[in-house]
Structures are given as structure tokens and as C-alpha cells.
Structure 1
Amino acid sequence: MLSPRHWTAAAHRGRGRMPTAVRLVADWMLTDLDFERIELRIAPGNHASNRVAEKAGFRFEGVARNAGFTDAGRTDLAVHSLIRADLDAG
């Protein structure tokens, strides 16, 4: 499983750059690298990252309870996915 991180410098936030970048990488992974599924797991309270997933076309699937770790301990994770069929539908 890959565990990439992303962030946007404050001066560039709110311009749609991160959702575009996430979608371009996801499309490349699904088409050129033959991935079947890409899954993002994001802390539910991380509103900016959850919004990026939504804007990039990932579908919210639910919450994996107690599935992640933070400095404060275990946390739930919102699960978003994109599959090849989603590319044809979009």
C-alpha cells in the first residue's frame, strides 16, 4: 500500500490545484499503471483533504473505525475510492 502525503502552500490554496493534481496522478495510476482501485483514507476532521478527495472525483464509501494513528492515538478514517469504471463515467 502506498502512503503518499500532499499539501498546498497557503498562498496557493483554494484554486483547485490539489484536486487537479490528485486526479491526474489517479488517472495515470488507473490507466498507465493498471491499478484497479485507488483508496484515500483521511481523518474525518481533515476537512480540506476530504474536500480534495471529493473534488478529484473520489467516492466516499464510509468510515473505517479506529483505523488510523495520530500523535494522540487511534482515529477513525474516512474512506474514498476511485476505480477504472469511474473514469468512463466521468
Structure 2
Amino acid sequence: MRHGRVGLRVVRMGDAEALRALLQRNRDWLRRWEATHPGGGGAEPGSRSMRPTVRLLRRQLRQGTGVPFVMLYDEELVGQLSVSEVSGGALQSAQIGYWVSEHAAGRGITPAAVALATDYLLDDLGLHRVEICIRPENSASLRVVEKLGLRYEGRRAAYIHIDGAWRDHECFAVTREDVPEGLAARLSRE
């Protein structure tokens, strides 16, 4: 999938080393936004092979519970966007999380990638709703949902364990009815 210079594709096993190196180079940039295990332990992202993580993400894709993407800018791998909590039945929804390398930030990559992923989820997978939860301190991510015009739905207190503590998150969502023309088309008009 493409939107201008931004591409989005499903993660491949061959991406493991590039993702590991990118995470390692961006430790200080990403640490304050990354999920941590409440009991401690676990490897710091980028410190070990990403092959087991990519295998897990691809298993979630096969099982229909997630869709792991890499973000590309002029064909360079610059980040990752993961769709999780894919639900069918009466819910028909999913959640999106993402990270982008510091050297690529501020170029409109993440809004374009989120728009592409959302359109894929709503149009191709037939879901009804997509949600993004963001720490209130993460002004860059808050700008992403603002640019895309996602609806604010409230704060989730102590929602996800991030950087060593339970952190509040602001919840934003979009439904198929909100963007009948697609989110990428809305972004192009801005």
C-alpha cells in the first residue's frame, strides 16, 4: 500500500535484522513510549534478534488476530505499525500501535501509514471501528490523530504498562461511517 512517498507492507522474516538495528539506534527516542512487563524482566527492544518477534507477529497474522506492518519512506524501512486485538462478531474492531525512527519523524510518515492501515482494516477486512490509544504526554502521536481527524473518546486510567509504570492513555477512534471516502483520501485533502 502506498500514499505518496510512504509505503506500508506486511512484515517479513527478512525485516528482522533491519528492525533490530533501527530499534537499537532509537533506544533513547522510543523508550518512554514502549510497553514494559509489570513484573520486570524481558529484553530491551533491539538488544536481541527480532526473529522470534517477527515469527510471533506473522503467527498472529495467520490466526487473524493481528496485522504487522513495516513503514517505508522512499522504500527505506523507518518504523513499524501493528494492528492488534482484531475482533469479529458484533464488535468488528481493531487497535493500532506504531513507532517511527527519530530520523524519519516529522515527515508525515505516521499519519499516512495510519491512514493506509485504517483503510485496509475498514475496507479490505470489513471492520467497523479502529482505535488508537496514546499517552497524554506523547504530543507527536496526538498530532497524528489530530491530522487524521479521529474522534476523542476519553481517558483510560492506568491502561498500559509503559516505561516501568501503569500509564494513562487518551483513546481515539474512527468508524467506517466517519470516513466513507477513506482516511487516506481525507488526509490528501488536508
* Fold conserved between structures, TM > 0.5: yes
Fraction of identical pairs, as percent? 34
Using the alignment, how far apart are the partners of 1:72 and 1:85 within structure 2? Answer: 38
In structure 2, the CA distance between the partners of 1:19 and 1:36, relative to structure 1 (3 Å rule), is: same
What residue ranges of structure 1 are gaps of 5+ in the alignment?
A: none
Find runs of 4+ consecutive structure 1 residues off by over 3 angstroms: 2-5
Higher relative contact order (CA 8 A, sep 6+): 1
Cα deviations by residue, 1:3-60 (Å, 9 ceiling, x for unpaired) = 6542222332222121011011101100110111111111111111121122123211
Question: Is the CA contact (8 Å cut-off) linking 2:96 and 2:132 kept in structure 1?
Answer: no
In the other structure, the counterpart of 2:176 is: 84
In the other structure, the counterpart of 2:126 is: 34
State the TM-score, normalized to the length of structure 1.
Answer: 0.84
State the TM-score, normalized to the length of structure 2.
Answer: 0.43
Q: CA RMSD in A?
A: 1.9
Describe how 1:1-80 pairs up with structure 2 within 5 A.
1=85, 5-80=97-172
What residue ranges of structure 2 are gaps of 5+ in the alignment?
A: 1-84, 87-94
Higher mean alpha-carbon deviation, 36-45 vs 49-58, is at 49-58
Q: How many residues align?
A: 90
Question: Is the CA contact (8 Å cut-off) linking 1:60 and 1:78 kept in structure 2?
Answer: yes
